[in-house]
Chain A
């Protein structure tokens, strides 16, 4: 009996002890800007040996030692740790949101630019200057980051984060297939019709899918970023403008009409859009010379068909893969009257407003965004960073990325950083899915309008 009682009370005591050890944990060290002992944590959705391994490696092997060294020179003992993740962006975002809503979490956090608005609205992050003080505005880096790219970390006119880099979307094409179909190696379509015409010619080659424009929900946000949204801006529409979401507007209908011409007209493979691993497969197919035209971001060039480390390597990438700007529906029909369009996104880094050492966290953040650090992060590889001074040095080696930086970024557009955007995006993806599987664009547009009204709280917030 005594044995049994001890067990139960033991278990109870353990649980009570657990409950009691909550809170506490605060230390008595000075936490001001001149603290001599500081601890900081960095979080990013990357991990050594897994997703975005290079980024994680850089933080562990370069940023942290260098920063500690610099602090030591000032007589400050810094302890900096990296919290890696390397999972789906949605799961990473969930974890951060849970941390931040509990007023906890890492000090310097890498997030997708698209989350800035919703995190700010939720009170999870605050304008940098409010968190870290006057040091923010006087940072040298701002002058090196183009206004449009700064927009990634800006919400309602305030700077919440420092952009890490950006990207742009283009149309890739297989020059060998183009030669076979009698198309030029320096192809640059001027209108959507030009794309369809090229597709029709490619269709004569057996075993080749002429056009791959991402569609459907299985590809998720890739459908929006690489397909629906570039088309939408090409038709002169914006998903969110002047406080209203785009319903079944003419540009949305035009976009769906284009999908219907591609997938209803036998120029694309509708099944591929539904497959859970459809995007992977589209990469493999392009690398194997089975896709003529593919809409993708510069990521495709850097990491997919990259000849040595890509996930669908093309040894002859530089000779075989061509790229062209995405045309508007007709010349001048794009947003802002543009002839060519694109979509961009990118990551930013923010300072946790609950950081115990906000000034030092900012110091770390700005150090990570310094020209020296950014160059070190690239480690010889080319990539479009947020900083013009770095871009100037590194992009010249890669014609494709210079092309994106010089030609595409000036005409690009960004997504609205609002909490309901992901749902509107899904509704748009569903509309493309419906068209690809045979629904009429008009019906799909009407259905989409209905869904958007439900998502954003009534027809009053939707433009049609």
Chain B
């Protein structure tokens, strides 16, 4: 499945085309004469760090997932292997399943619909624009992305506050308790605000690869905006859409910042999985169970990635 995309990229980049065969003849496109050994040496520093500080702890976490390990109490002194108990407990637990449902809502709402759509819309609107308007819009979108999470969370609490929040003042809806009555909508909008920058940047780069002449031709042939997008733009940026969806879904799925705004509440109505794990592992100290849920999250992420690859990858092969 994953292998399916490792076929050489069919980039339309002018530079690549200037060296015909360099990337398409199936041989090594080793322009710099790197050679395998030296290529490996280039990769080694990263791999050492990754193996030591990523793979090892991850494997350890997966192991903890089959124990009843806790941070304190008797189970901290004498953890026991409990096999798949944690997994069966989680999968049979309404709270986990509800949380999973909320997480999927969160990913679909804020990443796929919110960030990807809004990001594309902004990139598309600004594509042939220069000057202060573009810079100002981009700067604010990016600001939302790079500010520290704890600061941003406070900003949104101030925005959505029930009694005199800025939003209620703007909309003239005094007393509307957004975070309580619409907790999921609140965090979805929040995360859209937070993360659109990435999609925007990615799509504006992608749109730069669409030859303007093709769009002009389509326009002259009487194609409306939607037809232009469908026939000219999307086929060219399908790869970007895949990368974008893959990354933002992964990041959104594991995003913990809604905790800082709603703490999963009210009554677990916005308790997405990352928040659930935090509560289980840190507040509850149940590291074994928390690790098992983390691993389940990893598997769900894997499934998501495979779905994306299949959806967008296969059509690429057909094309």
Report if A420-B73 is in contact (Cβ < 8 Å); known contacts: A218-B263, A271-B177, A274-B266: yes
Report if A118-B73 is in contact (Cβ < 8 Å); known contacts: A12-B44, A271-B180: yes
B285, A419: Cβ atoms closer than 8 Å: yes
Closest 6 CB pairs of A and B: A419-B73, A274-B266, A122-B76, A118-B72, A118-B73, A11-B45
B71, A94: Cβ atoms closer than 8 Å: yes
Taking the complex as formed, is B283 at the interface, i.e. its CB lies under 8 A from any CB of chain A?
Answer: yes
Residue of A1, A422, A433 touching B285 (CB-CB under 8 A): A422
Taking the complex as formed, is A134 at the interface, i.e. its CB lies under 8 A from any CB of chain B?
Answer: no
A-B contacts counted at CB < 8 A amount to: 110
A8, B261: Cβ atoms closer than 8 Å: no
Taking the complex as formed, is B70 at the interface, i.e. its CB lies under 8 A from any CB of chain A?
Answer: yes
Chain A residue at smallest Cβ distance from B34: A4
Contacts of B286 in A (CB 8 A): 423
A415 to chain B, nearest CB (A): 15
Contacts of B267 in A (CB 8 A): 216-217, 274, 430, 433-434, 437
A8, B162: Cβ atoms closer than 8 Å: no
Chain A residue at smallest Cβ distance from B181: A271
Residue of B45, B72, B265, B283 touching A124 (CB-CB under 8 A): B72
Contacts of A464 in B (CB 8 A): none
Taking the complex as formed, is A101 at the interface, i.e. its CB lies under 8 A from any CB of chain B?
Answer: yes
Alpha-carbon gap, A118 to B163, bound state (A): 41
Among A78-134, those with CB < 8 Å from B are 90-91, 93-94, 97-98, 101, 115, 117-119, 121-124
A433, B282: Cβ atoms closer than 8 Å: no
B72, A276: Cβ atoms closer than 8 Å: no
A451 to chain B, nearest CB (A): 9
Chain A residue at smallest Cβ distance from B271: A217
Q: Fill in one digit per residue for A255-283: 1 if any B CB lies within 8 Å of its CB, else 0.
A: 00000000000000001001111000100
Residue of B41, B72, B180, B261 touching A122 (CB-CB under 8 A): B72
B73, A121: Cβ atoms closer than 8 Å: yes
- Chain B contact-residue range equals 20 to 34
Alpha-carbon gap, A422 to B70, bound state (A): 13
Chain B interface (Cβ < 8 Å from any Cβ of A): 38, 41-42, 44-45, 48, 52, 70-77, 157, 162-163, 177, 179-180, 261-268, 282-286
Residue of B41, B77, B265 touching A5 (CB-CB under 8 A): B41
A4, B283: Cβ atoms closer than 8 Å: no
Alpha-carbon gap, A90 to B282, bound state (A): 7
Alpha-carbon gap, A281 to B41, bound state (A): 58
Alpha-carbon gap, A179 to B264, bound state (A): 40
Contacts of A446 in B (CB 8 A): none
Contacts of A17 in B (CB 8 A): none
Chain A interface helix/strand/loop/mixed: helix
Alpha-carbon gap, A124 to B72, bound state (A): 8
B265, A115: Cβ atoms closer than 8 Å: no
A-B contact pairs, 6 of them (CB 8 A): A12-B45, A118-B73, A218-B266, A271-B162, A419-B73, A422-B284
Chain B residue at smallest Cβ distance from A18: B52
Contacts of A25 in B (CB 8 A): none
A433, B74: Cβ atoms closer than 8 Å: no
Alpha-carbon gap, A125 to B20, bound state (A): 70
B303 to chain A, nearest CB (A): 27
Contacts of A423 in B (CB 8 A): 284, 286
Alpha-carbon gap, A4 to B268, bound state (A): 53
Report if A274-B180 is in contact (Cβ < 8 Å); known contacts: A217-B267, A418-B73: yes
Alpha-carbon gap, A419 to B284, bound state (A): 9
Chain B residue at smallest Cβ distance from A434: B267
Alpha-carbon gap, A216 to B267, bound state (A): 8
Contacts of A422 in B (CB 8 A): 283-285
Alpha-carbon gap, A274 to B177, bound state (A): 10
Report if A115-B72 is in contact (Cβ < 8 Å); known contacts: A276-B157, A422-B284: yes
Report if A275-B71 is in contact (Cβ < 8 Å); known contacts: A426-B284, A430-B267: no
Contacts of B282 in A (CB 8 A): 90-91, 94
Taking the complex as formed, is A22 at the interface, i.e. its CB lies under 8 A from any CB of chain B?
Answer: no
A122, B73: Cβ atoms closer than 8 Å: yes
Report if A121-B262 is in contact (Cβ < 8 Å); known contacts: A4-B41, A8-B45, A217-B267: no
Chain A residue at smallest Cβ distance from B48: A15
Chain A residue at smallest Cβ distance from B44: A8
Contacts of B42 in A (CB 8 A): 4, 8
B71, A216: Cβ atoms closer than 8 Å: no
A237 to chain B, nearest CB (A): 23
Contacts of B41 in A (CB 8 A): 4-5, 8
B148 to chain A, nearest CB (A): 16
Contacts of A12 in B (CB 8 A): 44-45, 48
B5 to chain A, nearest CB (A): 29
A427 to chain B, nearest CB (A): 11
Contacts of B263 in A (CB 8 A): 217-218, 276
Contacts of B180 in A (CB 8 A): 271, 274-275
Chain A residue at smallest Cβ distance from B281: A94
Contacts of A117 in B (CB 8 A): 73
B266, A277: Cβ atoms closer than 8 Å: no
Contacts of B45 in A (CB 8 A): 7-8, 11-12
Q: Fill in one digit per residue for A399-440: 1 if any B CB lies within 8 Å of its CB, else 0.
A: 000000000000000000011101100100010011001000
7 more A-B contacts (CB under 8 A) besides A15-B52, A94-B285, A274-B265? A12-B44, A12-B45, A94-B71, A118-B72, A419-B75, A423-B284, A434-B267
Contacts of A119 in B (CB 8 A): 72
Alpha-carbon gap, A422 to B73, bound state (A): 12
A216, B73: Cβ atoms closer than 8 Å: no
Report if A97-B71 is in contact (Cβ < 8 Å); known contacts: A275-B162, A419-B285, A423-B284: yes
A276, B284: Cβ atoms closer than 8 Å: no
Alpha-carbon gap, A101 to B179, bound state (A): 39
Chain A residue at smallest Cβ distance from B259: A276
Alpha-carbon gap, A90 to B280, bound state (A): 12
Alpha-carbon gap, A301 to B41, bound state (A): 65
Contacts of B177 in A (CB 8 A): 271, 275
Alpha-carbon gap, A15 to B72, bound state (A): 32
A354 to chain B, nearest CB (A): 15
Alpha-carbon gap, A123 to B79, bound state (A): 13
B37 to chain A, nearest CB (A): 10
Residue of A5, A15, A90, A123 touching B283 (CB-CB under 8 A): A90
Name the residue in A121, A123, A216, A426 with the highest tally of chain B Cβ atoms < 10 Å from its Cβ. Answer: A121
B71 to chain A, nearest CB (A): 5
Contacts of B268 in A (CB 8 A): 217, 430
A221 to chain B, nearest CB (A): 10
Report if A121-B265 is in contact (Cβ < 8 Å); known contacts: A277-B157, A422-B284: no
